[in-house]
Chains A and B, each alone.
Chain A
Amino acid sequence: MLSWRAWLLAITSALVASCDSTDLDAERVSAGTRAGPVLQVVQHDSVWEVEPRLSPESLAFALATMPDVRRDRLTATVARAVSGLEASTNPFIVDLDEAPLEERRSDLQRDLLPAWSAAAALLAAEWTSADGRLSVRGLGRCPAEAVRCIRAWDAPQNGPRADRSARMAAWPMTAATVLDLPSARTAAEVGARLRATAHEVEGIALVVSPDAEPAPAEVVSDLERLLVSVGLVQSREQIPRAVPSAPEWVDDSHVLVVPRFGHLARLGELSGDLERLSEKLRLPPEAVLLSSGCGFQPARRPCGPRSGPPARGSLE
């Protein structure tokens, strides 16, 4: 039985030894010939603009998949802000908490935006590279021979800069830690355990698994009101009460740990923190680490991205 730590180490070592050079041809993936999702990359002559992503659907997804403790804190923040809002509009209600609107907005942003923006990025149909020259789609398989695809969970190592840009644009896919479990039921159990403890790791935004449940209806309803009143959104929109579907490249047997966008330069630390967290959890021995994130970091970073078919190992 290998520990996750030992298993990661072994894979990392193998990668560093084997993946130092990657060229464009080697990155081309034919339709259906390789397992694992791919990134379809299109280059543009002019800057490709991205649409704003924060949507009611991604908010519902964030509420369902954010770490439990952080959702509890958000719920408390929402309750506090709502009571302040009611006091400001009803002369018969006295608000004992006299925090100004700006402070309540800041608190709400602090508790909501990291997960919401991660969910929005995860559910986006398309990503755009930071320089605006590449558009990238995450797919279960490459749609056609004529389309350029690169493997999402492979190590870019010292490959072309354009590939690293594409992988960074697709960060919810490439920087996520992905576990494959024997069944959806097992994935749901593991997901629930991870979500219950994920607050111990600073950089985790979401834990996506089949068990994700919607936030309580009253919280969602309050948020619909609050987002407009504090100016986070322009107009009131209904937040779905059901959890929106995960992207098509996420299987029911997968558990995804999606980092905060602001942690992309700290994925090595996050990987270590996840290792320590995993040691506290009793993950089933059949669990397979499909990707340990860091999909756009140089090889010298201790992120342990895999190469080739998923290796199997036991997790403690």
Chain B
Amino acid sequence: MGTPSRVSLLFVVLATGCTGGRRTGGGDPVGGGGGELAGIWDVVGTQGERAGDIEIGEGYFRASFGDAHRSQLIFTEEGGTATTHWSYTRRGSPITIATEHAARAADYGELPLALGGTWRWSHGTNWCDATVEDGAATANCDADFGWTPWPLPKGAYHTGKAVRTSRASSIFGELGGTWVVSYDGVERCTATFAGRSFTCDCPRATSGWIHGYVEVHFSGDVASGLTGDGLDFSAIRR
């Protein structure tokens, strides 16, 4: 996988890992976020190459990356119905992942997406359950949704949890603070949402899972960040 896809995937991981709640089925506002990060973000990689773009809106998230949008993740939630599509053009037809979401009222600051509550994603015999609460999140997966590029795991057969160990003021609202992430019973990552930044360090991750260090900063219509192995990236909102 080339650098562009890697960079875009970093954003996908960050965005999916950090997006927060505001509205869910039935139209009831469940979060207090202002949604200032909404928009289409063009992501550029280390060599100035276009890596892809990410669109964030109320109840909508799309990440497209790779040449000619080779891989794409689309999540929508409207009128109480949530849907997730994942496609990779080299590996057959796009798959639709059945998504159930019981939202929990939460304030994720500038992120306009719902994250809090309980989730279930399923496709055939594959499934993944998650809960996102104030200060804690858990996930339990037995799934392989087909090809998943780096840094996402090839298959997810894990039990994981994240526990906030300290609070901090953050544009990500309720997520603000430092989180210790463990899976399969071992503490592997420390993630921090503070100010306009997100950092994640996974020094003890196992091969095939997210590992290493990444940080992202937001300033108006510009975001930028870097990884522990020297890859830089930036994004500008259209």
Contacts known (A265-B223, A266-B217); A110 close to B230, Cβ less than 8 A: yes
Number of interface residues of B (CB under 8 A): 32
B42-50, B111-119, B172-180 - interface stretch: B42-50
Q: Which residues of B contact A266 (CB under 8 A)?
A: 217, 219, 224
B232 and A261: CB pair below 8 A? yes
The reply on B231 being an interface residue by CB < 8 A is yes
A114 and B232: CB pair below 8 A? yes
The reply on B233 being an interface residue by CB < 8 A is yes
User: Which A residue's beta carbon lies closest to that of B51?
Assistant: A130
The secondary structure that dominates the A interface is helix
B48 and A262: CB pair below 8 A? no
User: Which B residue's beta carbon lies closest to that of A172?
Assistant: B48
Cα distance, A54 to B50, chains bound together (Å): 15
CB A105 to nearest CB in B, in angstroms, measures 8
Contact indicator per residue, chain B 223-238, by CB within 8 Å of chain A (1) or not (0): 1111011111111101
Cβ 8 A contact of A262, one of B53, B196, B219, B233: B233
Q: Which residues of B contact A124 (CB under 8 A)?
A: 48
The reply on A254 being an interface residue by CB < 8 A is no
Which residues between 84 and 122 of chain A lie within 8 Å of chain B, taking CB atoms?
A: 105-106, 109-114, 117, 120-121
Contact indicator per residue, chain A 152-174, by CB within 8 Å of chain B (1) or not (0): 00000000010011001101000
Cβ 8 A contact of B46, one of A105, A117, A130, A131: A117
Number of interface residues of A (CB under 8 A): 44
The reply on B134 being an interface residue by CB < 8 A is no
CB A125 to nearest CB in B, in angstroms, measures 12
B48 and A53: CB pair below 8 A? yes
B49 and A50: CB pair below 8 A? yes
The reply on B124 being an interface residue by CB < 8 A is no
B232 and A130: CB pair below 8 A? no
A130 and B229: CB pair below 8 A? no
Cα distance, A169 to B225, chains bound together (Å): 16
Query: 5 additional contacts, CB 8 Å, given A129-B42, A261-B224?
Result: A110-B228, A113-B46, A263-B232, A297-B219, A298-B220
Can you report 25 residue pairs joining A to B where beta carbons are below 8 Å apart? A49-B50, A53-B48, A105-B229, A106-B229, A109-B229, A110-B228, A110-B229, A113-B46, A114-B226, A124-B48, A127-B48, A129-B42, A130-B235, A131-B42, A131-B50, A132-B50, A168-B236, A171-B234, A260-B226, A261-B46, A261-B232, A264-B224, A265-B223, A267-B219, A296-B222
List 4 tightest A-B contacts by C-beta distance, closest first: A113-B230, A262-B226, A262-B232, A130-B42
